[in-house]
Structure 1
Amino acid sequence: MIADLPADIHDLKGFLSSAEGEALYRHALQASTRGPVLEIGSYCGKSTIYLGLACRANDSTVFALDHHRGSEEHQPGEFFHDPELYDTGEALFDSFREFRRNIRAAGLDETVVPVVAGSAAAARHWHTPLSMLFIDGGHSLDAALADYRCWSGHLLRGGILAIHDLFEDAHAGGQAPIAIYRMALESGLFEAVERADSLGVLRRL
């Protein structure tokens, strides 16, 4: 059981299964004793809540990085577009209001630090070592590679790298996340720790 997990967590907008959320929580609970956690791709905050509850238990921090304009698949006319998250006045996708509402309702305003920016821009002057990195941002190959290359070097030795949406079969899902997962393994800098549904968890050696 996860203490203080919102009763409506499964109703929040997002693509994280219960098994994936529980795995994130377990690894963040251990990792965040050593430093902050950074998440790339917060969307409406479902995964952020699992990470945030773990970090709060250790008086640590989650940096929740997302430009909140949606990935390619969230745009109008695409498969995962949600009209409720589309700002008609600005003619732009915007998940930030929903994200803030969910984080506040979970009581995590003092634990979660939103970073509203693109991944590369946020990484440009980043110097804080990370105990855990969760990559769940854009699923194009360029976006996934940028997330991995910009941020994996900030992980402490022994730190956790978690990557969402791993699909061996291209018919089941995009191949960019599993490409960077394999890249991490082939680098010799990471070892596989766990798989939970489409979540892969590695540890930096």
Structure 2
Amino acid sequence: MFELPIDVDEIKGFLDAAEGSALQRAFRAGAALGPGLEIGAYCGKSAVWLGAVAKGLGTTLFSVDHHRGSEENQPGWEYHDPDLWDHSVGAMDTLPHLRRTLRQAGLEDHVIPVVAKSAALASLWRTPLGFLFIDGGHTMEAALGDYRGWTPHLAPGGVLAIHDVFPDPADGGRPPFEIYQRALASDLFCEVEAVKSLRVLRKQ
């Protein structure tokens, strides 16, 4: 495991240590094939786990997020955090928190934040990826858009990780599970590891 430069327990987010360690193994496994890219930065917890790998291996992690929060982060929803609400514009804004995290962690040279909607960026992307982490919006439209938009950019042999995969609907939303099932059914991916709600697959 790559040593973390700061205490990630202090960063807002829902990735635990077992999943973080699995993400590091996944990124390391695909890093020789190209840079890594995560969809869904939030405040930077996963970016620190993955950024430590990028720094250790001399590669790059692109961190893609529009930073206005997913549907469950909006006011009135279960995972709304009022500390992340920008009253001056009347919207969520997690970008300052991500930038602060990366600076504190000393990872600004290894993690490149990209402020954009995932689907819009995917249509313009041209660089083959060695690692892809899908942890963005959990509507079917968002999750499927991330899967369809980004997996073609993953190099053969590259590694795909999907967070919040819950086989039991009582445990969480279904779209991440649905795209995980779609990946397996496509015969383009084989499963490498399952750690809590994280699934890791390799592209054939």
* Same fold per superposition (TM over 0.5): yes
Partner of 1:169: 168
Partner of 2:106: 107
Q: How does 1:1-205 map to 2 (within 5 A)?
A: 1-3=1-3, 5-205=4-204
Structure 1 residues 67-76 or 25-34, which shifts more?
25-34
Q: Percent identity?
A: 52
Counterpart of 2:2, as a letter, is I
Counterpart of 1:181, as a letter, is Y
TM-score (norm. length: structure 2):
0.98
Counterpart of 1:9, as a letter, is V
- Quote the Cα distance in structure 2 between the aligned partners of 1:7 and 1:122: 30
Higher fraction of helix: 2
- Quote the Cα distance in structure 1 between the aligned partners of 2:122 and 2:2: 31
CA RMSD of aligned residues (A): 0.9
Contact 2:61 2:112 in 1 (8 A): yes
The Cα of 1:177 is off from its aligned counterpart by 0.0
Counterpart of 2:151, as a letter, is S
Contact 1:29 1:57 in 2 (8 A): no
Counting matched residue pairs gives 204
**3-state SS, counterpart of residue 13 of structure 1:** coil
Show structure 1 runs of 4+ deviating over 6 A: none
- Quote the Cα distance in structure 1 between the aligned partners of 2:7 and 2:160: 27
Structure 2 segments unaligned to the other structure (5+ residues): none
